[in-house]
Structure 1
Amino acid sequence: MNQAFLSLGTNIEPRLDYLDEAIELLEDHRDITVNRKSSIYETVPVGYANQADFLNMVVGIETSLQPFALLDYCQQIENRLGRKRNIRFGPRTIDLDILTYNLENSTVEKLLIPHPRMNERAFVLIPLHEIAPDFKIPLWNKRARELLQLLQESDIKGVRKWTQNG
């Protein structure tokens, strides 16, 4: 069985519903088992600042799907939940990214594994660290906790654990 970590993010209301539905659709696939879920984090936008804050999380899965089939299914979920790709880094109903797949490195343009910017993103590393602090990411040969320690404090400040009551 293959192990993968996926990041999920949304900043269009109802944000929590989009996260819940994306996880439900992952769990509905017969070849995917969601075995770990981070807490939900609220984060300031990165790349395109003039938009609402995001809810982000990371899930760990086991799957018999190969990387491109997993990518295809993630994109099907995005499309089903109304994802529009009008502005790069812009608002979205849901975003699913494959962070890692086993210990593989892929440099195929459509599918870069590990995700090439995950080492720079507190909104990915904080929830990944929560569920797999000692997971070693092959591209950087560092554990999640080590990559998190390399981030600037200013990056980490923009990520806070989210609770439904604010």
Structure 2
Amino acid sequence: MANAWIGLGSNLENPSKQVSDAFLELAKLPKTQLLKASKLWKSKPLGPQDQPDFINAVAEISTELEPLALLHSLQAIEALHQRKREQHWGPRTLDLDILLYDEQVLNSEKLTLPHPGIAERAFVLCPLAELNENLYLPNLGSVKQLIQQLGQTACSEVLPLEAKACTSF
């Protein structure tokens, strides 16, 4: 079994529900157990600003799926949510990214681990810190260190919503 951390994001068609539903769908993946789910966090879009704010979260899972099989399963969940890939960093119903798969480093055509850009994205690091601020990202450092490098206001720029996405799985 490997531990993996999945980034979840949505800014279309009731984003909070999209992300909450995706947590439940992650829990149903074969040979996989959902261990932890962060709160939902609100953030400004990374790309074009003429789109709604995003709801983001992170899930920690334990899985027997290899990284590419896990990626395929995540893309199947995105498809269930009618994910369309029309614009880079554009609006989406659901985005699921493998942020980290144990301490594996991978750079292939289909998948890069740790996820590229993770060290600069407060909307990923802040919910990740909620689950484990001491988590080590290969070649990057701990989540806590990466947030400190972004600056004291990094997590104040993304706001946690009051309720947890799901309280039990």
Shorter-chain TM-score tier: over 0.9
CA distance in 2, matches of 1:70, 1:139: 22
More divergent stretch after superposition (152-161 vs 1-10): 152-161
The Cα shift of 1:117 comes to 0.4
The Cα shift of 1:31 comes to 1.1
CA distance in 1, matches of 2:128, 2:3: 14
Residue in 1 that maps onto 2:122:
122
Once the two structures are superposed, what CA deviation does each residue of 1:72-96 show, in whole Å capped at 9, x if it has no partner?
0000000111001111101000000
1:90 corresponds to 2:90: yes
Q: Which amino acid aligns with 1:17?
A: K
CA distance in 2, matches of 1:5, 1:64: 14
For residues 134-145 of structure 1, the aligned pairs below 5 Å read: 134-140=134-140, 142-145=141-144
Q: Which amino acid aligns with 1:80?
A: L
CA distance in 2, matches of 1:54, 1:153: 21
Q: Quick check: 2:133–2:143 contact (8 Å CA) kept in 1? A: yes
For residues 15-164 of structure 1, the aligned pairs below 5 Å read: 15-140=15-140, 142-153=141-152, 155-163=154-162
**Pairwise CA RMSD:** 1.3
Once the two structures are superposed, what CA deviation does each residue of 1:17-64 show, in whole Å capped at 9, x if it has no partner?
111221111111231111011111000111221100000000100000
What is the DSSP-based 3-state SS (H/G/I as helix, E as strand, rest coil) of the residue aligned with 2:51?
coil
CA distance in 2, matches of 1:109, 1:153: 35
The Cα shift of 1:155 comes to 4.7
Q: Which amino acid aligns with 2:62?
A: E
The Cα shift of 1:156 comes to 3.8
Per the normalisation by structure 1, the TM-score is 0.94
Per the normalisation by structure 2, the TM-score is 0.92
CA distance in 1, matches of 2:108, 2:51: 31
CA distance in 2, matches of 1:121, 1:112: 16
Q: Which runs of 5 or more residues in structure 1 are unaligned? A: none
Q: Which amino acid aligns with 2:145?
A: E
What is the DSSP-based 3-state SS (H/G/I as helix, E as strand, rest coil) of the residue aligned with 1:40?
strand
The Cα shift of 1:154 comes to 5.9
CA distance in 2, matches of 1:80, 1:29: 13
CA distance in 1, matches of 2:106, 2:67: 9
Q: Which amino acid aligns with 1:107?
A: N
CA distance in 1, matches of 2:149, 2:91: 28
